[in-house]
Amino acid sequence: MRKSLMKMLRSFRRNDEGVTLVEYGVALILAVAVGATVIGNMGTKVTGQMDKACNAMTGTTTGC
């Protein structure tokens, strides 16, 4: 039993496929998180600029 367990652990240590899959998963999660943050910040800035433009066109400060 112990020998088979040690043999299985050695084979896991030599196998790189699982590690690569985990690395890709972490990279994907990081890319999605950064992308969502950037798009969220950009959306806020665009909304602010559109409000300023609308206020300038209508002459009000209450928003459109």
Residues 6+ apart with CB under 8 A from 64: 51, 54, 55, 58
pTM, full prediction: 0.55
Number of other residues whose CB lies within 10 A of the CB of residue 10? 10
Rounded-to-integer distance, Cα 58 and Cα 46, Å:
18
What pLDDT does residue 17 have? Answer: 65
* pLDDT 10s digits, 4-63: 878 877 776 666 666 678 888 899 999 999 999 999 999 999 999 999 999 889 888 776
Higher pLDDT, 2 or 32: 32
| SS3 of residue 16 by DSSP | coil
What pLDDT does residue 20 have? Answer: 77
